Chains A and B, each alone.
Chain A
Amino acid sequence: MIKLSISLLLTVSGVLLVVLFLFTIYILVQRKREIRFAEVRDTFLQNSAQHWYNYLINDEIFSVVLVPRGRSQVAAIETIFSSYLKSISNEKVEHKIKEFSNVYLKKFYEKDLSSKRWSIRMNALYRIADFRIEALLDTCQQFEKTKISEEEYFQLLKIYSVFQPELFIEKIEESSVSYSESEYRRLFALLEDDVFIRLFEDFNSWTTKIQFAAIDTAAVKRNMQYIDQLKKLLTHEMPEIKIRALKGLYEIGVIDEIDPYVPFVTSDMWEIRLMVAKIFQHVPLNYTYAYLEQLLQDENWWVRSQAAKTIVEKREGIAKLQQFLESSNDPYAIEMAQETIVRKRGSK
């Protein structure tokens, strides 16, 4: 049995009590600091919100009240700027936020980038991109040379895509990190149109994830500028590229000629036939009816269903389907046409 003297036990418990006491004091101080931080932030938010509105929206002159004094006021400004940028689209507002951030927030984020805490560095990288703090581009490039995480590198790519698209394309080409499709989409969404379109110039040199992301981003951007690029991909050897290009063209919704799409009506892949049936929604029925009738008799349920939907949404669609019912012998196509007519009439 271990023998412990009472004095030793008392000493140990005394030390533990002191440690506990110090730890409690530390927690209380930290809590107090947090509360103080939140108070200052909220007060600044409350007092300056109207000034910000007047400066950003009403074009009133800049007031020194808006300049942050300390980290808590920066946090308040972050909240204000993020709310404006998320909800309001206005070049003037964006420009004012950019100008202000480059002058008054730069030093805060510069310091944050050298923080030991990952979350603080990430926040700084997000804000640099969101508020367009171009003055920190060199600092960012220096930051890249330090040991950074994958997430930080991804944010850096976002920053490059905004400030230095050339560098962004270079980095994407040489990047050892492979991102997911959705991550590439997030990167490409920020690119200016003239830079983004360059992804299509040497399309086959990219990895499939980049290729897919580029096509999907073109679809989301819904810019008519990309129609020709997507049409070129319709002859691509990879079916997935063809399907995505067709989807992109459908999303953009401007079909200037139907000839490039006609061969897909007899494609071996039902997904391609389905996309053609969808694309024909954007073309007058008298140009497409013959093909849609063919697709209405397709072996695949999805294709038949889409063809019927495309027909019925047109003004003379119901009449065409009824005409089809009278002349067709295909029981599946007849069933689909009947169902679609009933559904359409029910929704009227």
Chain B
Amino acid sequence: MNNLIITEDIMQEHEVKGYFEILRESVIRSRLTMTAVFFKVANSSQGTNIDPNQVNHQISAFLKSKIRKTDLLFQLADGMHWGIFFLQSSEVEVKAFLKRIFAILTQEREYQQIELKASVTEIRNNSVNFETLLDKNKHKLADDEQPTWSVEQVTDYRVQPTEQVKVSIIEQNEIFRKVLETTLENLDIPHYTLDVSTYEDGYSFLQSDSYKTGHVHLVVMNDILPRKNGLEILHILREMPNEKKFIIYMMSERNSESATLNAYEGGVDEYIVKPFNLRVLEAKIKQTFARFWL
């Protein structure tokens, strides 16, 4: 059995568990991906004359010097693994980080006794607990035949949960309202389900109370509407305390600079001049939702 070599100046496994649970929940709430990386000393550097305690210290110091202030570095209780939680980072960024630090470790003489392998887990949902995460990654790194500097992957937690989005279409023209409704109902946005409602005027939208729920709410409306026009609705929605949940697309027949500026200054996310291309509208909406998750 290996001797446990614990480095005292970085966080330890038991201290990190509580943090992890908070971070995991904020992944969902803030829609920010977190990626965990686990390192293990590669087999070839074990069993040599080099003092393992010294190597351990060196690895800890090296990793500590390379992470950002928002990243959380810790050592596992077995003393042979290190973990880093990269907040607001996807697997792609973390792989680039690994490539960079592995290049430094292989090229610089002072680190010649360090040889590592890593395992990466991108986390986009909250169905993972700390112990399972450690077990899965340890298991990935357990194979002694794995080459040095190899990067393994745990892909079990990379699928983000499906989120319900409310969509309100406020358009006076019945035919075009139906066209928009059909288009948005058929719109396939990965990880989002759209719950589409239509209104023929501003007043009926405000009466519906559907905008008072906590869901992300996409509002596609005309600037000119009977009984409360679009600009009034825009003002009402942007005055609400949770106004950030509204994504507001305003359609207009006016293509003037002042009308466009006025709408953007009022808080619309997109100002679309009629006639417009439905495919472009779909692409814009998809892109809006794609930006939600890092």
Contacts and interface: CB of A to CB of B under 8 A. Distances in A.
B130 to A, nearest CB: 46
A88 to B, nearest CB: 5
Interface string B218-260: 0000000000000000000000000000000001010001000
Given A89-B275, A89-B276, A89-B277, A84 B183 contact: no
Given A49-B178, A83-B176, A84-B175, A57 B183 contact: yes
Contacts of B182: 50, 53, 57
Contacts of A45: 175
B274 interface: yes
Contact of B175 (A49, A57, A251): A49
A85 B275 contact: yes
B276 A88 contact: yes
Interface string B257-291: 10000000000000000111111000000000000
A90 B277 CA distance: 6
Interface residues of B, number: 16
A47 interface: no
Nearest to A82: B175
Contacts of B164: none
Contacts of A87: 173, 176, 179, 251, 274-276
Nearest to A45: B175
A93 B253 CA distance: 19
A251 B183 CA distance: 34
A45 B177 CA distance: 14
A238 to B, nearest CB: 26
Interface centre among A57, A79, A251 (most CB of B within 10 A): A57
Given A50-B182, A53-B182, A57-B183, A83 B275 contact: no
Given A50-B182, A53-B182, A57-B183, A88 B275 contact: yes
Nearest to B171: A87
A85 B173 CA distance: 12
A86 interface: yes
Given A50-B182, A53-B182, A57-B183, A88 B277 contact: yes
Contacts of A89: 275-277
A89 B178 CA distance: 17
A80 interface: yes
B96 to A, nearest CB: 33
Interface of B: 173, 175-176, 178-179, 182-183, 251, 253, 257, 274-279
15 contacts: A45-B175, A49-B175, A50-B182, A53-B179, A57-B179, A57-B183, A79-B175, A84-B179, A86-B176, A86-B274, A87-B173, A87-B176, A88-B176, A88-B179, A89-B275
Given A57-B182, A79-B175, A87-B275, 4 more contacts: A49-B178, A53-B182, A86-B173, A87-B251
